[in-house]
Amino acid sequence: MKACNKATLIGFSSILIWASLVAVVKLITESLSPVSAIALIYSFSAMVILVLNGLPRFQHISKAYVWGCGALFVAYEILFLVSIALSHNHDEVLIIAMINYLWPPLTIVFSILAKQLNYRWPVILGFIISVLGLLLVVNPDILNLHQFLHILQQNPIAYFFAFLGALLWPCYSVMTKKYAQGQNAVPLFFMVTAIALWDIHFMMDEVFIFPQLNMWLWIAVTGGLVGIAYSNWNQSLQFGNIKLLILATYFMPVLSSCMSMLILDATPSLSFWIGTCLVTFGAVICWKSTSEI
């Protein structure tokens, strides 16, 4: 029982790290060239997770898992992180985070479509509530379509990348459940993500700004914590209270907003908080309305 509680607490620590990642990445990319800053963070993450987990045994891993899930993992991480880097200000960072946190209810919907979950009709209500919450976050005047389009046009690439990432992560989750067969290739996926980010940096001919000593510390700590979070999460899923951990992930929109508000010194509007709570509430309804087949 104690081992289960310890593994569950380890999983909660991963959720805390992920919730603060959005704000910390934004602070680092503001001081450096965006893609190279992300590449540096994930280079440290790849090294840490390799030390903690080592490389997987390729002869025992499904090719569909390595190539299919690997491509989805790398694409999601790049799209989400670059969308943060492309944000014009701290308010946009909060919106991008909320777009990304559509993935919990989307994961449930995709799992239902893949026939991995049984469901009851309230799942439809939960998904609608989450979408309405997101729309309220993006545009407080939720019925004003012209205003909604105007907000999206201010930074269409960043918002599109965040939304595409929110679609890719549920696909990764569903495919991992189907093809991973108990294997863990996340260390390999992190290596490829770091290499891909450096490739993008050089292809964009982006100027490399050499970090100062204090920034190197931020990068190393952030990258290390991200690597530890992924390593701990894998352990917590195997030995912790999975039902409680999954429920906790549905509160990440609220937790991430609180962490971003503190770290970025942002002041979200009341409509933002209402929308954030609706995203979480809708995800919880979806969760309560499903069961494993």
DSSP bridge partners of 292: 117
Tokens of 230: 């992924």
Question: How far apart, in whole angstroms, are the C-alpha atoms of residue 247 and residue 100?
Answer: 17
Work out the pLDDT band at 45, boundaries 50, 70, 90. very high
> Coil, strand, or helix at residue 3?
helix
At 210-233, the pLDDT tens digits run: 899 999 999 999 999 999 988 888
pLDDT digits (tens, 9 = 90+) for 88-104: 888 888 889 889 888 88
> What does the mean pLDDT of the chain come to?
87
- Calculate mean pLDDT across residues 22-35: 90
Q: Which stretches of the chain are DSSP H helices?
A: 2-31, 34-53, 63, 70-85, 90-100, 103-113, 122-138, 145-153, 156-179, 186-203, 213-239, 242-249, 252-264, 270-288
Residue 242 confidence (pLDDT): 66
How far apart, in whole angstroms, are the C-alpha atoms of residue 273 and residue 97? 13
Residue 234 has pLDDT above 80, yes or no: no
Domain coverage including residue 121: 2-292
Q: How does pLDDT run across 129-181, given as a tens digit for each residue?
A: 998 998 888 888 877 778 888 888 999 999 999 999 999 999 998 888 888 87
Q: Which 3 state secondary structure label does DSSP give 177?
A: helix
Residue 211 and residue 255 in contact, taking contact as beta carbons nearer than 8 Å: no
Q: Is the pLDDT of residue 56 over 80?
A: no
Q: Is 197 a residue whose pLDDT tops 80?
A: yes
Phi-psi region of 253 (alpha: psi -120 to 50; beta: other; left: phi over 0): alpha
Identify the top-confidence range among 54-63, 92-101, 231-240: 92-101
pLDDT score, position 3: 57
Mean pLDDT of 196-211: 91
Backbone φ, ψ for residue 204 (5° rounding): -75, -10
Instruction: Kindly indicate the confidence band of residue 293, based on its pLDDT and cuts at 50, 70 and 90.
Output: low
Bigger pLDDT: 101 or 293? 101
For the chain, how many structural domains are there in total?
1
Pairwise CA distance, residues 148 & 165, whole Å: 20
Query: How many CB atoms are located within 10 Å of the residue 66 CB?
Result: 18
How confident is the model at residue 28, as a pLDDT?
92
* The predicted structure's pLDDT at residue 38: 94
Which stretch of 38-42, 56-60, 168-172, 261-265 has the lowest confidence by average pLDDT?
Answer: 56-60
Task: Say what the pLDDT of residue 1 is.
Answer: 54
